[in-house]
Amino acid sequence: MDAQSAQVRLFERIKRQLPANRSLPEEVASLLGVGTDSIYRRIRGEKLLDLGELLTLAKHFKLSMGGLLEQGGADHLFTGRFVDGTDFTFQAWLSSIIEQLELASEGKDPVFIFQAKDIPLFHHFQVTELAQFKFFFWRKTILRQSSPELVKFDLKHKDEHLLALGR
């Protein structure tokens, strides 16, 4: 694939991420600090992006540089984060899921795939006690946290903020 067609495909991907009320040329011009005329030339492939511009766009729109070089259309882009007990918080995790869902819902024809080995997360919040137990279980087993409230499960230990985020 040549650079020009890769660049055109890049702008197509960015456009799919934008809400319908946002202008692709104006968004990109604002990010790169150039005029919209210059951006139109880049969108049409008449002028190639430089490496700095490409990096700025890839970071802002969370695009994989490798994903832009698709070979035969068989590549898939995944994002994620490893869970560990050092810097992981349920609040940040739930907030990031909310942000991802909001971003997906604003795009044109959004697709959101959530894969889990357990009951999908969203169902836990239908039953407060189930959500409380799952938080207890995850903290104790997956995150290997230790604190007095993790010795034995107790419905009295509620994190109202987490439960509210889940709703």
Higher pLDDT, 167 or 36: 36
The whole-number pLDDT of residue 8 equals 87
> Does residue 19 lie in a domain region?
yes
Q: What contacts 158, CB < 8 A, 6 or more positions away? A: 128, 132
Indicate whether 106 and 161 sit together in one domain.
yes
> Does residue 75 lie in a domain region?
no
Question: Residues 8, 12, 17, 18: is their CA dihedral positive or negative?
Answer: positive
Residue type for 15, please?
K
Instruction: Tell me the pLDDT band of 5, cut-offs 50, 70 and 90.
Output: confident
Q: Tell me: the pLDDT tens digits for 134-146?
A: 888 888 888 888 8
Q: Which of 22, 39, 69 is the last residue of a domain?
A: 69
> Does residue 80 lie in a domain region?
no
CATH number of the domain to which 33 belongs: 1.10.260
Instruction: Tell me the pLDDT band of 77, cut-offs 50, 70 and 90.
Output: low
This prediction has a pTM of 0.47
Q: Tell me: the pLDDT tens digits for 79-108?
A: 666 666 667 777 888 888 888 777 777 767
> Does residue 74 lie in a domain region?
no
Total domains in the fold of the chain:
2
Q: Which domain holds residue 141?
A: 90-166
SS3 for the chain is CCHHHHHHHHHHHHHHHCCCCCCHHHHHHHHHCCCHHHHHHHHCCCCCCCHHHHHHHHHHCCCCCHHHHCCCCCCCCCCCCCCCCCCCCHHHHHHHHHHHHHHHHHCCCCCCCCCCCCCCHHHHCCCHHHHHHHHHHHHHHHCCCCCHHHCCCCCCCCCHHHHHHHC
> Does residue 32 lie in a domain region?
yes
Indicate whether 155 and 100 sit together in one domain.
yes
Indicate whether 48 and 114 sit together in one domain.
no
Indicate whether 59 and 110 sit together in one domain.
no
> Does residue 76 lie in a domain region?
no
Would the pLDDT of 147 be above 70?
yes
